[in-house]
């Protein structure tokens, strides 16, 4: 047994959606440091290009930025074609991108949510995961090897505690809870469907991350956790490296929860 080799991602091709986001950019850096070639997939192409240039220079990797609209099957197929042209294989898919809406949408609550917003969230957070997993799954079947990681949330497991929000604008919307909960069983279904094909499928469920939110909200949120604070932006990198690497080789159909103890009380 070689522990360093277990976590080594050298030469692996990892497709990460939502790569331009606050957490996505941290994952990109972590994977790059572990030796992977990361496909930075996002609607925000310019931000991905900036990050790509930075990490390739810093870690001597061979990453690729691709603009993709997860609600458009043609856009997904085009992205996959570009990836295969450059790398030939896809080792890991991380369905990280998610639509959460703006403060106005969240503070409007359940009663004030319009159908257009609901449908957009379903399209990005759930249908996008389905389409991308379906397309890349075909490739992994041919390879007889692959690893899919779906990102859920604490609020895919338990109900959003409305008492901690007040007028902070951080209210978690109903569509976020519904789609993140659906992700959990989509993972189980795919793990079962692709059993013994060489493809593993798992979920990662993180808790809230401190990011200049309302101080009262941060205090109330922190009181709900056993650790007594929100997560830092880089505290989930290790979990993703574990799931993406051979360190988790006997793990499929599971949900890794890291939420500071929120759901363990």
Q: Average of pLDDT values for 57-73?
A: 96
Between the alpha carbon of residue 106 and those of residues 20, 113, 114, 176, the distances in Å are: 22, 8, 11, 10
Distance CA 25, CA 126 (A): 21
Q: What tokens were used for 240?
A: 């993703």
Q: Average of pLDDT values for 182-205?
A: 98
Q: Average of pLDDT values for 112-120?
A: 92
For residues 161 and 224, is the Cβ–Cβ distance under 8 A?
yes
Question: Distance of alpha carbon 250 from its chain centroid, rounded?
Answer: 21
Instruction: State the catalytic residue, choosing from 99, 176, 221, 236.
Output: 176
Q: What is the pLDDT of residues 122-177, one digit of tens each?
A: 999 999 999 999 999 999 999 999 999 999 999 999 999 989 988 777 788 999 99
Is 176 among the catalytic positions? yes
Q: What is the pLDDT of residues 218-236, one digit of tens each?
A: 999 999 999 999 999 999 9
Q: Average of pLDDT values for 46-52?
A: 97
Distance CA 66, CA 46 (A): 10
Write down the pTM of the prediction.
0.96
- The residues spanned by each domain of the chain are 3-257
Note the maximum CA span of the chain: 56
b/e code 4-35 from CB counts within 10 Å (16+ = b) = eeebbbeebbbbbbbbbbebbbbbbbbbbebe
Bigger pLDDT: 79 vs 166 = 79
What are the φ/ψ torsions at residue 106 (nearest 5 degrees)?
Answer: -70, -40
How many CA atoms are closer than 13 Å to the CA of 226, on its beta-carbon side?
8
What is the model's pLDDT at position 170?
73
May I ask the CATH class of domain 3-257? alpha beta
Between the alpha carbon of residue 182 and those of residues 1, 39, 101, 129, the distances in Å are: 37, 25, 18, 11
- Residue 166 burial (10 A CB sphere; 0-12, 13-18, 19+): middle
């Amino acid at each position: 047994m070689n522990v360093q080799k277990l976590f080594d991602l050298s030469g692996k091709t990892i497709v990460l959606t939502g790569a331009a986001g606050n957490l996505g950019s941290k994952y990109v850096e972590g994977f790059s440091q572990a030796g992977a070639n990361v496909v930075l997939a996002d609607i925000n192409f310019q931000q991905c290009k900036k990050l790509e240039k930075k990490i390739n220079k810093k870690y001597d990797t061979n990453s690729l930025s691709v603009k993709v609209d997860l609600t458009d099957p043609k856009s997904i197929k085009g992205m996959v074609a570009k990836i295969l042209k450059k790398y030939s294989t896809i080792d890991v898919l991380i369905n990280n991108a998610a639509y959460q809406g703006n403060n106005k949408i969240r503070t409007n609550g359940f009663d004030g949510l319009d159908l257009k917003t609901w449908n957009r969230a379903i399209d990005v957070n759930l249908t996008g995961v389905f389409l991308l997993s379906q397309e890349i799954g075909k490739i992994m079947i041919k390879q007889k090897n692959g690893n899919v990681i779906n990102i859920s949330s604490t609020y895919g497991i338990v109900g959003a505690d409305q008492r901690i929000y007040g007028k902070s604008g951080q209210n978690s919307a109903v569509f976020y809870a519904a789609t993140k909960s659906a992700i959990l069983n989509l993972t189980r279904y795919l793990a079962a469907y692709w059993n013994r094909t060489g493809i593993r499928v798992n979920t990662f469920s993180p808790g809230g991350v401190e990011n200049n939110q309302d101080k009262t909200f941060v205090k109330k949120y922190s009181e709900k956790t056993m650790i007594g604070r929100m997560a830092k932006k880089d505290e989930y990198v290790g979990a993703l490296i574990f799931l993406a690497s051979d360190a988790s080789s006997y793990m499929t159909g599971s949900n890794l929860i890291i939420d500071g103890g929120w759901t363990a009380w």
